[in-house]
Structure 1
């Protein structure tokens, strides 16, 4: 079975993103929106992967569970994240009921989208951590 290298790199980026805990309530509104977009994309990816790998495949669902654990979001935002995941899953599950070239192409596109979202989130986290780690950057001198 063909394994797409983009999916592997997207998974590695996702692991790197969730390796550094960040509380969702501390995120800026645009980062919270990116998290919601990422949850939707993870849901899409989960559905598309299951079409070809089978219903027992939990690769992307487990990444979503890890994301919610790391974010430690308040109950309302956690519910939004889960709803976005489920909406993405349902959208792609209905659109691609069989594994074929078009479902594989959609899987690649979803992986690229998720990779871009995770990269933007990780860059904003690095910028915040860099400023926080450098007290000189905060002084008005």
Structure 2
């Protein structure tokens, strides 16, 4: 799971500033990705404490990299905040359910990031083959 989270974070940090050149479907995928980041932020805070900022920082880097127009920036922010609120509402405390939800969010985020990474822009990033990651929706045993 950590490999998936790392791949998602690396993708979000390395994306080119092309949001205004993206199709409607790609813009929707970006909005979906920000919701997953918000949900991941809530789940991480539930398990690691309220000062945890990993996914919020990645959201900020994604917005900086994308340089979205005003409308898309507002939609991305609203989506992140909706994911954050939903994650907090459903999983107010850490437990097996929150850890499983974080793993599932990682899979959803990876799928969205994969879809966005296959866009033919000059990113210099090679898409990661999902089979090579050996990622499952189940969290690792602790």
TM-score range, shorter chain: 0.7 to 0.9
Q: How far apart, CA to CA, are the structure 2 residues paired with 1:114 and 1:49?
A: 15
1:85 aligns with 2:65: no
Superimposed CA distance per residue, residues 26-46 of structure 1 (whole angstroms, 9 cap, x where no aligned partner): 001100000000000000000
User: Structure 1 residues 96 and 20 mapped into 2: Cα distance closer, same or farther (>3 Å)?
Assistant: closer
Q: 1:23 aligns with which of 18, 22, 37?
A: 18
Superimposed CA distance per residue, residues 54-96 of structure 1 (whole angstroms, 9 cap, x where no aligned partner): 0100000000000000010111210110000000000010100
User: Which has more helix, going by share of residues?
Assistant: 1
Contact 2:4 2:107 in 1 (8 A): no
Q: How far apart, CA to CA, are the structure 1 residues paired with 2:15 and 2:30?
A: 15
Give the TM-score, by structure 2 length.
0.81
> After the TM superposition, which parts of structure 1 deviate over 6 Å for at least 4 consecutive aligned residues?
none
Q: 1:39 aligns with which of 34, 42, 46?
A: 34
Count of paired positions: 123
Contact 1:44 1:110 in 2 (8 A): yes
1:105 aligns with 2:105: no
Q: Choose 1 or 2 for highest CA Rg.
A: 1
Match for residue 133 of structure 2? none
RMSD, aligned α-carbons: 1.5
